[in-house]
Structure 1
Amino acid sequence: MKYKSVLTAAVLAAAFGVVAPADSWARPAAKGAPALAPLPDVNIPYTKFVLPNGLTVIVHEDRKAPIVAVNVWYHVGSKDEPQGRTGFAHLFEHLMFNGSENADEDWFKALEQVGATDLNGTTNTDRTNYFQNVPTAALDQVLWLEADRMGRLLGAVTQAKLDEQRGVVQNEKREGDNEPYAVAWDLITTNTYRQDHPYGHTVIGSMEDLDAAKLEDVHAWFKKYYGPANATLVLAGDISPAEARKKVEAYFGDLPSGPPVPRQTAWPAKRTGEQRATAQDRVPQPRLYKVWNVPEAGAADTDYLALLSDVLASDKSARLYERFVLKEQTATSVSAYVSEGELGSTFGIVVTVKPGGDIDAVEKAVDAELAKLLKEGPTEAELARIKTSRVDGFIRGVERIGGFGGKSDLLAQSQVFHGSPDAWKQSLNRYRGASVADLKAAGNRWLTDGVFSLQITPFTARETGSAAAPPRPAVGQIAAPVFDSYQRAKLTNGVDVVFARRTAVPTIDLTLIMPTTSSSRTGLAGMTLDMMDEGTATRDTIAISREQTELGAQISTTGGMLYNYASLSALAPRLEPSLDLFVDILRNPAFREADIDRLKKLRIASLKQSRQQPNAMANRVLFPRVYGVDHPYGRLITEQTIDALNRDALTAYHQQWIKPQGATLVVVGDTTLEQILPLLEKRFGTWTAAPPPARAEIPPAAPKPGVYLIDKPGAVQSVLTAAFPMAPRVEAEQPATEVMNNTFGGAFVSRLNMNLREDKHWSYGAFSFVNGSIGPRAFVASTSVQTDKTGPSLVEMKKEFADIVGSRPVTASELAKSQDDLVRSLPGFWETASAVSSSLGQIVTLGLPADHFTTYPKRVRDVTAAEATAAARKAIHPDQAVWVIVGDRAKIEKEVRAAGLGSVTVVDADGNPVP
């Protein structure tokens, strides 16, 4: 469960449905170049009806997969909280997951058993929503569950549950507060809105108000805001409107409406003058925030300001990024956004200044750039480019029926905030018709006065009652998951092609998978691949970024230990020019010295940031201790290894490993194999090179068990991570390993999470996973807990490890739950083209049989409880654990040593022993 208070520009673009008609926004051709095809049209047909009790229901039929998105929005958020009860809306959201009168069990337990995916709930200033994608056969039961908690919740809410979820939420708050720069959001909230404004406090609230929440507050809140008349239900997916109406009337029709809810009208709270604040935090770099209050979501100026934010910082060719990160290199990151709200929105600029940089000088330059933009407006080319970018983001977002930014989310948001499921079209029309003058005028109305400026600088001081419920429906026969059929082909130069057709959205995803081997120079593969889209023989960094945005293409290159990946996601009508750009990046990287120097500085800055981020600190120490400091999987990237990289090394690596021999192209999207093969042959088939060297054998791990404690002064939580070396993957044993992990910590309703989060409420979440795929692996379990529960949490983790390999092996019920979760969730995981591409990539990189995903469900179902327990005993050896603990040493060291985990060594964020 998450609280959402600030949305990025990318999320907002998806949320507000930037769609272009088929005949619009074709970019004029450069002289001598062919015109780009028009952007594709996208529509979201729907049926809307309202029950007599006021429940608004929206249905969108999408038969591409046997799943249905169930998305319930309640029109209540933190803005509705009474004084002294900040954070209550979010706390109540958590309580809604703890069972209702006729289903008094954890929501995740019920939903994971039926294979739900995209399962969560969120709260922001204006609404609370609950969502999940479920197999069609489970829809009746999920609707019954949603109706039961909408109409029959209070009888199941006890003081014990309130205390439990209060603890969970407080640990969620601590987890957020433990992150670098976290202090900024409280300061921005309290300085941009007065205390009497509905937005004058954070969504998650204060610790004191959370402590003050009483059971009678829960009852009053539920009765006031959680009736059907204040709710919108969206069903999207494998269902017709007629089927939906019949089911919804059966399960929700008898619920009482609830009282009328008063609504606050728009209140943008525009400020005058300049307000400033400074703060220190344990961060390696200064950061600048500039924030203005602007109109509410749906206002014309808000849409124009969203486009204006893209002009400033949407890609590498955007004004702030190009100046401060690329050219002057005075910053390592920049962003600009509009965070939209029902009553008012905020326009923000965030600049992370380079280590040791002059934040005052950067702020002065940012002000100058903004003033210039407001005086002159954007260029026509800039405006055309950002329009394309927003259309592209929307097209990709609406491939999904559920989750953040999916179709059900968009329909619900449009209805709840604007009164119609297709209200997003109003913003669309403004984007389509926006002119340079529109953006300039909106900017001058809202961004020339009333700024709040915040500077965060490094802290360097030394320290020491309703109608009876109908019977709970059984889950129907859930259809066996069916993986996409796919075809294979081969280009004339030997490149293998794996193709699957997907037509839900007009996009085509390509991934070129190239085998490699570990490099003796740490970070060489990653740096080489990162540099490839920084410039080619004929294009520089800005040109590549600009062209991607104009095309609506997304290109990424990623260097790995065993495989390198180059990916293109293109709009189908613009595939050919997108392919041309992709191939140029692959084959002709320039590796310019200036770009190498700039990227090295950015990587060093990112490295310094990671030494302040608790989970990153833990990982930097963990894996060198699990595999060995000289092992390919354990080598540590440092300033020295980054500095050692040079143009000769990058060029040599590219010539040696970025080549078609041994490579595979995975293609998924809206085309056919017959259509795309000639296009691939033209661009890849003529690419020849000498075969790559043989891959070096991966050595076994050389672990160093023990306890490694990293001091993070002032931390309000401790990160606890334990890892155990594992043998390489054996395919016949893999299903048992996955069932075991799901039982132990791989699902919400797993032993570790239920212990530390739900039973003890010491943590916001605890989880486990298997790290690595080829060669030696590791079983890893991790959590963040409140500082004063560090010792007891370590004891509980130690107990859970001992139990599953000893006195409490995997039970029959746990086995069945994990099998259901792993198998029934597959259709939801395979909903998008990118997910199918990822699964096909696994077949390639792991050398799996062609029918691996077809036979996978049966192999999981065939696992026995004894086999799952045996998998645990192969993975977990308590006496061989590597423990890494990050927290306030002064407060936790004594209890860490008393936990009986082994010898304790205090180390820095690079694993070096310290006194």
Structure 2
Amino acid sequence: MRRSWLAVSLLVISTVAFGQTAQPAPLSELSRAVTIPYQQFTLPNGLRVIVSTDHKAPVVAVSVWYNVGSKMEPAGKTGYAHLFEHLMFNGSENAPGDFFKPLQQIGATDVNGTTWFDRTNYFETVPTPALERALFLESDRMGHFLGALTEKNLKNQIGVVQNEKRQGDNQPFGLVEYAQLKALIPPTHPYGHSTIGSMADLDAASVDDVKNWFRQHYGPNNAVLVLAGDIDLPTAKRLVEKYFGDIPRGPQQGPIVAPVPTPAHRVDEVMHDRVATPRIYRTWVVPGLNDPDAVPLDIAATVLGGLSSSRLDNALVRGDRSAVRVSADLQQFAQLSFFEVQVDVAPGTDVAEEGRKLDRLIADYIAQGPTADEVLRAATRDVAARTSALESVGGFGGKAVTLAEGALYSNDPGFYKKQLAAYAAATPEQVRAAMQKWLTRPMHALVVEPGPRGAYEESKSVTGPATFSPSFFHKPGEAPVTFAPSAAVDRSQLPPVGPIPDLKFPTVQRAKLSNGIELVYAQRTATPITRIVVSFDAGNAADPADKLGLQSLTLSLLDEGTTTRSSIQIAEEQERLGANIGAGTSTDRTSVSLFALSPNLKPSVVLLADILRNPAFAPAEVERLRNQQLVSIQNELTQPGGLAARTLPPILFGPEHPYGRASSGTGTPEVVSKLSRADLVAFQHAWIRPDKATIFIVSDRPLAEVQSVLDTALGDWKGEGAPGTKTFTAAVPQAQPRIVLVDRPDSPQSLIYGGEVTPLKGTDEMLPDIAANDVLGGNFLSRLNMDIRETKGWSYGVNGNFRRLLKGVPYIVSAPVQADRTGDSLAAMQADIRTFLTTEGITPEERERTIDGFVRELPGSFETGSDVLGGMQNNVLYGRPDDYYDTVASRYRALTVPEMDKAIRSALDPSKFVWVVVGDAKQVKPQLDRLGLPVEVRTVPQQSAQGEK
């Protein structure tokens, strides 16, 4: 669990020479600069309300946090808190049907709900004029829910949750958490079982069970409501009292006794899973986030395996290369935490010896402690990372999350201040003392080896209501709570939504560096952040057909050493500056991005320029990153999604086409193992060059200042040799409808992944197609998802979307479904698509909901600087004007049902779909054979990830 991230201000002494390093200001000064203004009040019924005013955008984050998580679940009722999270999206007494429908109509963004050990939360960010409707909906499911709970809804959502469990369990390492909890936590302890619950307990849940669960836990006195954004305290009081004031109190949740358990002895365990390479885990149970040792332990984990220059990275990945990936993390909860170390063992390494080496490294670290510089870099990274989320008022990590977590877990919305002060004051001695106190206790030592999995706990048919006493959920002698009908609020209809102004996209300015590189800039002043993306006309399509994976290896080496800095020096300098530089790629573009705290802009850009201009491609680093990429390829071959993404593109586009490649761009082992340093240098010279570049910027600093900084560092950059060219001469093959079954034995779920190449191009105006597809497959309320997930309960989620590429646009459907319903699910989706494109097109209600949602969500869709940055890049990529998004609302409003139907029916032809199914062939193939399409079975390639060490 991550804390929310906040703004900071950094003062630095900067230089521009490639080899020099800037010095940050004292950490104590940084922590004092962080603040989130808030006010709070409590209703007579006990609902605690926190209001944070931020008028930077016309949106309000609504976040309701209930003090109920899986730690409150008694034996035999595991998974109830998470099940209820799902049920409360299925509608309430006065807002029947899925909550996503009214939320889409008002243009809500960041809509979700989550459950974990300590809490259940529901959140959405809505346009300011829609706030009253959002509060109506949240209050209705808090105070008027039980009448909407039916046996049908319960059975359906049990199926959905069980498929969510299968989806997670089906991934490589997906069963590890169960083993960790079993080894470290007694089964009777509140944290002693997984939040997802067990299949048997979910099977046995009855309507009476879950109604009693609701009565016990979801009263207003057991909740925190946070409103953050374009809202003031008087308005918040008026609206919250109106909609929540009549809800009676429920039973008061008492304190949960959850001491940090002490395992009797170290537990060594070996599991087998379909994984690419062995993974070693070391896990300790330690105190929760309110304990004074929480911050020192977090710093300890960051220094050990969280920094790019961490102890384990330097020793095992960069050092003797016995590992391809390491990490250490403190997963914090309210009453206890898990300190976890992971090491992915390099091929050819003795796993047992690697485990002993890891234990020696950890023991030495515990004995000696970190250096002052390591503590500083770890704490600075934490503070700097918080900056990026300050722009969001809601979502998974914005202001609302910070305030709600503080109130719920620590009875202090401003608890983040105490945390930051602790980071600023942390010393090596404190970190060492915390480690010696907690990490010398018995741990769980787990190794996951490649191999067949053991038996899987599957769901049984529901046999009837569970036999248990309601005393599980009530104090002895206490009658169940009932809610009186509201007399204060007219709940016969949803509140109206006020006029929502159209999006005003930030003004885009353009300039050029001395060497002609174009700058595309927008200003955002809410936070002292500069985001820069250097975008190159390359992408996966630029990989030579006979050297697939070359670009991926080249990009991974850019920040692993330059002619003036080593890999470790680059990592440490980023950590001291609070900067983050990374390379990425899409099918059509390659990018190197910089996140910088604006006061650190000059030295951060200097570092970026060095990485772009002077990569060393040192032979030792080439071999290290090559081995990591080979393991990445093997990882893809163990994952359902990776297998599907490697199988479908070459079928749709042909293996010779630049788009007929896996989106990961990692290539094949045969090719990657033979790439030379000269290949890497040649690719860099051909594609990572100024005449292929456009620089996109969103910053609080004015364009002239940013331009000057960039021109100093990059203005004299010149390309070497001839620029690269992409060729699209390979013809797209004629569609051959069939089912390609990729055999992945012992899979409790199948991934259905199908599609076709449409006649569209990425530069086409696709708004009619996108709007029409929102009804078919594009969002939660789509025909596909509502049928397979919400009606049938066979999947955790189904979607279909256009993949917008410059030279061709495929349409892809993705559906992870329970294994025994694979054939039924594919047949149902075929029927859904076919009827949508023929006899049952878009209804007027679907058109209104979709268009209203698209128009109203635009302000929330561009709340942050990174959102704006993405919009600017899309405009340039697809040849659109800079003010394109200012015109989108009127374009959407002009769409009619016939236009939408015509657009998607012209784009899609269901008779041309090719379906890839990743699943257990012995169980799935008989189902697919009945569907009337040829079935081709493929086995997973058993290629070695071995490389030089």
TM-score, normalization: structure 2? 0.92
Within the candidate set 703, 727, 731, 1:696 is matched to 727
In the TM superposition, what is the alpha-carbon distance from 1:340 to its structure 2 partner?
A: 1.5
Moved more, 887-896 or 343-352: 343-352
Match of 2:647 in 1: 621
Per the TM alignment, residue 795 of structure 1 is displaced from its structure 2 partner at its CA by 0.8
Task: Please give the alpha-carbon distance, in whole angstroms, between the structure 2 residues aligned to 1:332 and 1:693.
Answer: 31
- The AA in structure 1 aligned to 2:490 is P
Contact 1:229 1:257 in 2 (8 A): yes
2:188 matched residue in structure 1: 196
1 CA distance for matches of 2:562 and 2:353?
Answer: 32
Q: Is the 8 A contact 2:505 2:883 kept in 1?
A: no
User: Which residue in the other structure is 1:858 paired with?
Assistant: 890
How many angstroms does 1:258 deviate by? 1.1
Query: For structure 1, which segment, 403-412 or 841-850, has the greater mean C-alpha deviation from structure 2 after superposition?
Result: 841-850
After TM superposition, give the deviation of residue 125 of structure 1 in Å.
0.6
Distance 1:32 1:894 in 2: 65
Per the alignment, residue 813 of structure 1 pairs with 845
What residue in structure 1 maps to residue 675 of structure 2?
645
Where 1:70 maps in the other structure, the secondary structure is strand
Q: Could you tell me which residue of structure 2 aligns to residue 407 of structure 1?
A: 399
Show the counterpart of 1:739. 771
- Deviation digits for residues 702-743 of structure 1, max 9, x if unmatched? 254321001111100111111111124265541111012211
Alignment of 1:170-189 (within 5 A): 170-189=162-181
Return the match for 2:321 from 322, 329, 334: 329
CA positional deviation for 1:576: 0.5
Residues 441, 728 of structure 1: alpha-carbon distance in 2 compared, 3 angstrom cutoff: same
| 1:545-556 alignment, distance < 5 Å | 545-556=571-582
What are the residue-to-residue correspondences of 1:797-876 with 2, within 5 Å?
797-876=829-908
3-state SS of paired residue (1:651):
helix
Query: How far 1:832 sits from its partner (Å)?
Result: 0.9
Where does residue 484 of structure 2 map in the other structure? 466
State the one-letter code of the partner of 2:206.
K
Structure 1: segments with no counterpart, 5+ residues = 1-6
Per-residue displacement from partner, 1:777-813 (whole Å, max 9, x unpaired)?
A: 2101110111111111011011012112111112222
Out of 482, 486, 489, the residue aligned to residue 508 of structure 2 is 486
Instruction: Work out the CA distance in 2 between the residues paired with 1:350 and 1:60.
Output: 38
Aligned match of 2:560: 534
Q: Note the residue ranges of structure 2 that are not aligned, 5 or more in a row.
A: 456-482, 944-949
What is the CA distance between 1:36 and its match in structure 2? 3.4
Whether 2:748 is the aligned partner of 1:723: answer no
Q: How does 1:126-275 map to 2 (within 5 A)?
A: 126-275=118-267
Partner of 1:282: 274
What is the letter of the counterpart of residue 343 of structure 1? Q
The one-letter code of the counterpart of 1:453 is: A
- Look up the equivalent residue of 1:625 and give its one-letter code: I
How far is the alpha carbon of 1:629 from its aligned partner? 1.0
Which stretch shows the higher mean deviation, 502-511 or 724-733? 724-733
- Give 1:392 deviation, angstroms: 0.7
Q: Deviations over 1:615-674 (max 9, x none)?
A: 111111011101101111113621012123211111111112221124211110110012
Q: State the distance in 1 between where 2:614 and 2:698 align.
A: 25
* Match runs of 1:40-119 below 5 Å: 41-119=33-111
Q: Name the residue aligned to 1:503.
A: 525
For residue 626 of structure 1, what is the amino acid of its counterpart? L
Give the equivalent residue in structure 2 for 1:4: none
User: Against the structure 1 CA distance between its residues 33 and 418, is the aligned structure 2 distance closer, same or farther, given a 3 Å change threshold?
Assistant: closer
Corresponding position of 2:693: 663
Contact kept? 1:37, 1:573, Cα under 8 Å = no
Q: Deviations over 1:205-242 (max 9, x none)?
A: 10000011111111211111101100000000111111
Q: Is contact 2:24–2:576 with CA below 8 Å preserved after alignment? A: no
Q: CA separation in 1, counterparts of 2:143 and 2:789? A: 27
**Which residue is equivalent to 1:673?**
703
Deviation per CA, 1:320-339: give whole Å up to 9, x if none: 11211222222221111112
What secondary structure is seen at the aligned counterpart in 1 of 2:356?
helix
Aligned to 2:467: none
Who is 1:519 aligned against? 544
Offset, 1:271: 2.6
- For the pair 1:686 / 2:677, whether they are aligned, the reply is no
Judge conservation of contact 1:728–1:773 (CA < 8 Å) in 2. Answer: no
Q: Secondary structure at the match of 2:158?
A: helix
Alignment TM-score, normalising by the size of structure 1: 0.95
Between 704-713 and 516-525, report the one with greater CA deviation: 516-525
1:350 aligns with 2:375: no
Cα distance change on mapping 1:26 and 1:646 into 2, 3 Å = closer
Do the aligned residues in 2 keep the contact of 1:25 with 1:384 (CA within 8 Å)?
A: no
Output the CA distance in 2 between the equivalents of 1:25 and 1:266. Answer: 47
| 1:400 shift after superposition | 1.0
Change (3 A) 1:141 1:886: same
Q: What whole-Å deviation, never above 9, does each CA across 1:506-540 have from its counterpart, x for those lacking one?
A: 11001111223452321222222221111100112
Query: In the aligned structure 1, how far is the partner of 2:792 from the partner of 2:588?
Result: 41
| 2:364 is aligned with 1:376 | no
Mark the CA change 1:522 to 1:693 in structure 2 (over 3 Å): closer, same or farther. Answer: closer
Matches within 5 A, 1:705-720: 705-720=737-752
Match of 1:3 in 2: none
CA distance in 2 between partners of 1:230 and 1:294 (Å): 27
What one-letter code is carried by the residue in structure 2 that aligns with 1:572?
A: S
- 1:745 is aligned with what amino acid? G
Which deviations, in whole Å up to 9, do the C-alpha atoms of 1:430-484 show, x marking residues without a partner? Answer: 1111110000000000001211111111115999x22424343111112212211
Alpha-carbon distance between aligned partners in 2 of 1:312 and 1:648, rounded to the nearest angstrom: 35
Residues in 1 aligned to 2:239 and 2:634: alpha-carbon distance in whole angstroms: 54
Cα displacement (A) at 1:689: 2.9
- Residue 910 of structure 1 and its aligned partner are, at CA, apart by 5.7
Distance in 1, matches of 2:515 and 2:551, equals 24
CA distance in 2, matches of 1:423, 1:808: 54
The equivalences for 1:524-603 within 5 A come to: 524-603=550-629
Distance in 2 between the 1:661 and 1:356 partners? 43
RMSD: 2.2
Moved more, 694-703 or 747-756: 694-703
Q: For 1:722-774, what per-residue CA distance to the aligned partner results, in whole angstroms no more than 9, with x for missing partners?
A: 11111242655411110122111110010000000000000000001112320
Percent identity reads 39
Aligned residues: 897
Alpha-carbon contact 1:527-1:559 (below 8 Å) kept: no
Between the aligned partners of 2:810 and 2:161, the Cα distance in structure 1 is 30
Q: Within the alignment, does 1:432 sit opposite 2:431 as a pair? A: no
Rounded Cα–Cα distance in structure 1 between residues aligned with 2:729 and 2:400:
46
- Three-state SS of the structure 2 residue aligned to 1:594 is helix
Are 2:794 and 1:794 aligned?
A: no
8 Å contact 2:36–2:399 — kept in the other structure?
yes
